């Protein structure tokens, strides 16, 4: 780690000048601001703006997890996975994926599009803002990736090469531990309010939940369907408003360092689980109408996903036995698996390390009921009956659970 050179506000200009491909992206002779803006768990992120109104974002992967410090080493090669997945995804659906301009593999620095006219979706949700259309667009993004990076859209040899290049064990291990295992088997990183200790213990002692998470972890580790984003929560999505309207003007996925060939439904479940967490916040604050709106995002994402997948289906490379029945089978399985992954994502954000501002910024007495509701909702989801996995019916069922458990 001693020879690892950190990017700083002071060295950023000379770094940009050293990268010919970045010439013209910002005027380093007329800079207006240079800031470190990273608020994620892992990396350094800088935003540079010039006086002509142009901007550039630089992100450097550290050799450890930023959230905890040097005690948790982590391969900075994760930046390569981020770049390769962002490029592959951007090629498929440029409107909904941040654009990468440059990658320096020696220093693990990515230069990408300035999205400072956007905001992180989680923050917008927590402010009570609506960006209508964003949930559907993220579904469209997942649908494009599911088709375009899988055996449906890539020639056999290309697929094999893409899969090999995307093997990302260090980051997958984080997910396997933090998302699937630790909410149920504490490895010393879990925490809840004292008032929620019983809820966490009940979760860990719930055999149906343990079995469901065992299945979810197995799917995650074995179902190499497509080059998924791998961490598609609402903090990995940027949104821009249309002035004076609740419509979303632009929405882009970013931060895909967890990308690998994994289950398509994992990305859907990440979105769904985080919409449910946003709904839990709204219920806690007594904003029931907003909670219903947040729960409605589940269906919107599914609709965008399904429409995009069906739209691309006729161009599948091998239609010999992958006929329309296969598409129906895939969609049916993904719908059910997405709920399973949503349940995992929900419980990890309440019990495990790396929580969400949605819940953590609530006053403690409201947080207690919101956290309990999310855990109960996760346990309800893994008990859904076969054939009753629709996005709307699942979200409605969850809404009732969240409302019932909120602090009165
Ligand atoms: C140690 S990294 C903790 C979490 O941050 C990322 O956003 C992922 O969700 C990961 O699980
Ligand atoms: Mg992240």
The string of pLDDT tens digits covering residues 253-277 is: 999 999 999 999 999 999 999 999 9
- pLDDT band, residue 26 (cuts 50/70/90): very high
For residue 108, is it within any domain?
yes
Angle between helices 134-148 and 288-312 (to 10 degrees): 30
The pLDDT of residue 34 is above 90: yes
For residue 318, is it within any domain?
yes
For residue 68, is it within any domain?
yes
For residue 100, is it within any domain?
yes
Ligand 1 pocket, residue 174 CB under 6 Å: yes
- Of ligand 1's listed atoms, the one at least distance from the Cα of 40 is 7
- Residue 164: φ, ψ to 5°: -65, -40
Q: Give the residue whose CA is nearest to atom 8 of ligand 1.
A: 231
- What does the alpha-carbon distance between residue 21 and residue 88 come to, in Å, rounded to a whole number? 19
For residue 1, is it within any domain?
no
Same domain for 274 and 341, yes or no, is yes
The string of pLDDT tens digits covering residues 50-94 is: 999 999 999 999 999 988 889 999 999 999 999 999 999 999 999
According to the model, what pLDDT value does residue 346 have?
98
End-of-domain residue from the set 113, 148, 176:
113
- Secondary element (H or E) of residue 87: helix 78-92
Same domain for 55 and 126, yes or no, is no
According to the model, what pLDDT value does residue 386 have?
66
Q: Which domain holds residue 17?
A: 12-113
The pLDDT of residue 299 is above 80: yes
Same domain for 70 and 152, yes or no, is no
Same domain for 104 and 145, yes or no, is no
User: pLDDT > 70: what percent of the chain?
Assistant: 99
**Least confident span in 34-38, 67-71, 126-130:** 67-71
Q: Give the residue whose CA is nearest to atom 5 of ligand 1.
A: 41
Instruction: State in Å: Cα 354 to ligand 1 middle.
Output: 6
Instruction: Identify the CATH number of the domain in which residue 355 sits.
Output: 3.90.1200.10
Q: Which two tokens stand for residue 250?
A: 């632009």
For residue 7, is it within any domain?
no
The pLDDT of residue 172 is above 80: yes
According to the model, what pLDDT value does residue 384 have?
84
- Of ligand 1's listed atoms, the one at least distance from the Cα of 68 is 1
Secondary structure (3-state) at 11 = coil
pLDDT, average across residues 173-187: 98
According to the model, what pLDDT value does residue 39 have?
83
Ligand 1 pocket, residue 374 CB under 6 Å: no
Same domain for 98 and 129, yes or no, is no
Q: Give the residue whose CA is nearest to atom 3 of ligand 1.
A: 354
Same domain for 148 and 163, yes or no, is yes
- Secondary element (H or E) of residue 260: strand 260-262
The string of pLDDT tens digits covering residues 189-198 is: 999 999 999 9
Number of domains in the chain: 2
C-alpha to C-alpha distances, 373 to 369, 382, 391, nearest whole angstrom: 6, 14, 18
Instruction: Identify the CATH number of the domain in which residue 40 sits.
Output: 3.30.200.20
End-of-domain residue from the set 89, 113, 137:
113
Q: Give the residue whose CA is nearest to atom 4 of ligand 1.
A: 354
Same domain for 130 and 276, yes or no, is yes
Whats the size of the chain, residue-wise?
Answer: 408
Same domain for 179 and 140, yes or no, is yes
Same domain for 186 and 83, yes or no, is no
Same domain for 352 and 391, yes or no, is yes
**Nearest listed ligand to the Cα of residue 65:** 1
End-of-domain residue from the set 86, 113, 140:
113
Instruction: State in Å: Cα 145 to ligand 1 middle.
Output: 21
User: pLDDT > 90: what percent of the chain?
Assistant: 94
Ligand 1 pocket, residue 98 CB under 6 Å: no
The pLDDT of residue 318 is above 90: yes
According to the model, what pLDDT value does residue 76 have?
95
For residue 304, is it within any domain?
yes
Same domain for 230 and 336, yes or no, is yes
Bridge partners of 33, per DSSP, are: 49
Same domain for 203 and 292, yes or no, is yes
Question: Over the chain, what is the mean pLDDT?
Answer: 96
Q: How many Cα atoms are found within 13 Å in the side-chain-facing hemisphere of 241?
A: 11
Q: How would DSSP label each residue in 17-71?
A: HT-GGGBTTB-TTSEEEEEE---SSSEEEEEEEETTS-EEEEEEE-SEETTTEEE
Angle between helices 391-405 and 264-284 (to 10 degrees): 30
Q: Give the residue whose CA is nearest to atom 11 of ligand 1.
A: 175
The pLDDT of residue 343 is above 70: yes
For residue 326, is it within any domain?
yes
DSSP 8-state class, residue 111: E
């Amino acid at each position: 780690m001693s020879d690892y050179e950190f990017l700083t506000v002071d060295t950023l200009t000379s770094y940009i000048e050293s990268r010919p491909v970045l010439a013209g992206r910002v005027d380093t002779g007329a800079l207006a601001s240079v800031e470190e803006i990273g608020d994620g768990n892992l990396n350094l992120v800088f935003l540079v703006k010039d006086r002509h109104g142009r901007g550039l974002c630089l992100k450097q992967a550290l050799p450890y997890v930023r959230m905890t410090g040097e005690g948790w080493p982590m391969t900075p090669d994760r930046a390569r996975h981020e770049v390769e997945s962002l490029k592959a995804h951007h090629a498929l659906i440029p409107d909904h994926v941040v654009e990468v301009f440059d990658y320096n593999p020696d220093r693990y620095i990515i230069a990408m599009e300035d999205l400072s006219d956007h905001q992180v979706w989680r923050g917008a949700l927590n402010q009570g803002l609506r960006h209508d259309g964003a949930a559907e667009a993220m579904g469209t993004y997942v649908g494009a990736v599911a088709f375009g990076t899988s055996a449906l859209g890539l020639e056999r040899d290309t697929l094999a090469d893409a899969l090999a290049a995307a093997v990302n064990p260090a980051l997958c291990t984080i997910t396997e531990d933090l998302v699937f295992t630790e909410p149920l088997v504490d490895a010393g990183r879990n925490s809840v309010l004292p008032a929620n200790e019983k809820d966490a213990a009940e979760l860990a002692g719930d055999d149906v939940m343990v079995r469901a998470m065992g299945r979810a972890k197995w799917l995650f580790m074995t179902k190499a369907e497509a080059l998924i984003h791998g961490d598609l929560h609402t903090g990995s999505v940027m949104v821009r408003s249309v002035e004076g309207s609740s419509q979303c003007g632009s929405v882009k996925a970013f931060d895909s360092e967890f990308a690998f060939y994994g289950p398509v439904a994992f990305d859907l479940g990440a979105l769904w689980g985080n919409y449910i967490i946003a709904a839990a916040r709204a219920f806690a604050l007594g904003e029931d109408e907003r909670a219903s709106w947040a729960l409605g995002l589940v269906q919107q994402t599914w609709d965008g996903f399904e429409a995009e997948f069906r739209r691309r289906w006729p161009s599948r490379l091998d239609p010999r036995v992958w006929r329309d029945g296969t598409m129906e089978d895939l969609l049916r399985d993904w719908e059910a698996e997405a709920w399973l992954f949503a349940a995992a994502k929900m419980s990890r954000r309440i019990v495990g390390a790396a929580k969400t501002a949605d819940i953590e910024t609530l006053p403690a007495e409201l947080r207690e009921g919101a956290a309990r509701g999310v855990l109960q909702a996760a346990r309800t989801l893994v008990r859904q009956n076969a054939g009753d996995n629709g996005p709307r019916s699942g979200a409605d069922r969850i809404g009732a659970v969240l409302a019932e458990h909120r602090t009165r």
